[in-house]
Amino acid sequence: MSVDTVSLTGWGRTAPTTALRFRPRTYEEAAATVRGCGPRGSIARGLGRAHGDAAQNAGGSVLDMTALNRIRTIDAGSGRVVCDAGVSLHRLMEVLLPLGWFVPVTPTTRYVTVGGAIGADIHGRNQHLAGSFSRHVQELELLTAGGEIRTVRPGTALFDATAGGLGLTGVILSATLRCHRVTSAWMSVDTERAVDLDDLLDRLTAGDHRYRYSSAWIDLRARGRATGRSVLTRAEHVPRYALPARARRTPLSFRPGPLPSAPALVPEALLGGAPATLFNELRYRGAPTYRIGELQRLAAFFHPRDGLPQWHRAAGRAGSVRYQFAVGHGQEEALRRIVHRISRRRCPTSDAVLKRFGAGDPGWLSFPVPGWALALDLPAALPGLARFLDSLDEEVAGAGGRVCLAKDSRLRPELLAAMYPRLSDFRSLRAELDPGGAFRSDLSRRLSL
């Protein structure tokens, strides 16, 4: 097991803190690390894709789980996979796709670990049908504060606290997943443009149930009548028989090629409002008004940005803040107000995504609630951004909504209980299972989780 002292941040590259990083190769090493972690506790970390400070532990221990990366069994008949928590979704796709299986849920990057996916209870473009990641977990092994390993199954309080629990109930060591059957690695993508926000909400409400994957890119720089204009992309897996002859020869091949990394220093001039406006204009005008049945490879559809490693550097030296919130059905007015406020403020953002959520998940700190979720990246250096986001928080909380904790790096702690009604259950379960505070992170300190 290697040990070193490192300065860590989330994917947004804000608020660095230093911790002792352990890289356990076996469950025993992980258990020994947790038992000997000292007063500042420990937290598991995967590939560092959480945007905020969920996988940092200032002055304490951080368990880098990426060395625990064995896929233990695959049942090619039923799609049941048992793997270590440090296995990435990228690796799972490489192994599973040739066998005709696909991960049940994938976010916009496939470089997340299975443990991280459960800890953050990630959702993808199929949330409205398939729910979030932990809904497809049949069983997991959890290393608890005392250093013993417990098997946790859905339906128990510990499972609901662990799914979306940001690693604060213990270290997830392995998981049993149920995968999704596919016959090709191609997607059939339908694209349409929505002229404004109301148009977009109508289209999402009317047609989402017909597609397995659906989300909309929304232009938050557009103002006036065009506020909320968007490009809606929805897709299905293509059955093998529907592929063109050439693609049918290797229907399940999955070899996404990485491009060179983003440069370490991006000129600040490229990050301002004018380039964002230009980019958004081109993206909106460049999208077809209506197109159906476009064939795209899996990686191109789900993870376009994974082709550019280190793309988070493009946010500039000060890093970025990801703001993601959800409000329930019936709160469209609040959503409209927030979208109008963001677009009036002229925030330089060009990757905002609106998604219609289906049923929520039982995880106590799980993010999805039935309704609407909007996510956007903002440069952290933007003057006055802290107060602006605080005022958006008030609006979200007032509408009974919530912000996503896995992406948060700046929420006002007082609002948390209003956003997550099961927070007190989570706190009391932690107090009972982990009275000594063996599991802590910067996020848990900041929000007193």
Partner 1 sequence: MKDAFGAPQSLLVLGGTSEIALATARRLIALRTRTVRLAGRPSPALDAAAADLRARGADVRTVGFDALDAASHEAVLGAVFAEDDIDMVLLAFGIAGDQGRDEEEPLAAVRVAQTNYTGAVSAGLVCAGALQAQGHGSLVVLSSVAGERARRADFIYGSSKAGLDAFTQGLGDALHGTGVHVMVVRPGVVRSATAQATATGTASGTVPAAPPTAPRGGAALLAPERIVAARSASARFASAPLEASPLTTTPEAVAEAIVTGLRRRSETVWVPGSLRAVMSALRHVPRPLFRRLPI
What are the residues binding partner 1 (CB under 8 A)? 7, 12, 14-19, 40, 52-53, 57-60, 318-319, 321, 380-381, 385-386, 409-412, 442-443, 445-446
3-state class (DSSP) for residue 191: strand
Nearest distance in Å: CB 301, partner 1: 30
Sheet strands side by side (includes 17-23): 2-8, 17-23, 61-64, 42-45
For the CB of residue 77, give the shortest distance to partner 1 in the complex, in Å. Answer: 47
CA–CA separation, 268 vs 232, rounded Å? Answer: 30
Intra-chain end-to-end CA distance of the chain, in Å: 30
**One-letter amino acid identity for 371?**
G
Our CB check for partner 1 shows the closer of 61 and 134 to be 61
Q: Give yes or no for a contact between 327 and 399, defined as CB atoms under 8 angstroms apart.
A: yes
Which spans in 71-217 are helix H?
Answer: 89-96, 114-119, 127-130, 157-162, 197-207
Toward partner 1, which CB reaches closer, 254 or 388? 388
Which residues neighbour 359 within 8 Å (Cβ) at sequence distance 6 or greater? 131, 370
CB of residue 42 to partner 1, shortest distance in Å: 13
Q: Is the distance from CB of 234 to CB of 187 less than 8 angstroms?
A: no
Shortest reach from residue 349's CB to partner 1, in Å: 15
Q: For residue 320, which phi and psi values (nearest 5 degrees)?
A: -135, 160
CA dist 219 and 339 (Å) reads: 10
Q: How far is the CB of 50 from partner 1 (least distance, A)?
A: 13
Please tell me what DSSP assigns to residue 26: S
Q: Which two tokens stand for residue 300?
A: 């191109």
CA 201 to chain centre: 22
- Give the nearest distance from C-beta 360 to partner 1 in angstroms: 27
CB of 387 to partner 1, least distance (A): 8
* Distance from C-alpha of 26 to C-alpha of 172, rounded to nearest angstrom: 13
Hey, which bits of 104-170 come out as E strands?
Answer: 137-143, 149-152
Q: Which residue, 141 or 442, has its beta carbon nearer to partner 1?
A: 442
* Residue 300 or 418 having the CB closest to partner 1: 418
The distance of closest approach from Cβ of residue 89 to partner 1 in the complex, given in angstroms and rounded to an integer, is 26
Q: How far apart are CA 154 and CA 143, in angstroms?
A: 16
Give 16 or 400: the residue with its C-beta nearer to partner 1.
Answer: 16
For tokens 């890289």, name the residue: 23
Q: Quick one: 179 or 380, whose CB is closer to partner 1?
A: 380
Nearer CB in complex with partner 1: 341/446:
446
Residue 4 or 333 with smaller CB distance to partner 1? 4
d(CA 38, CA 144): 15
- 52 versus 107: smaller Cβ distance to partner 1: 52
- 8 A C-beta contact, residue 207 and residue 109: no
**Least spacing, CB of residue 318 vs partner 1, in Å:** 6
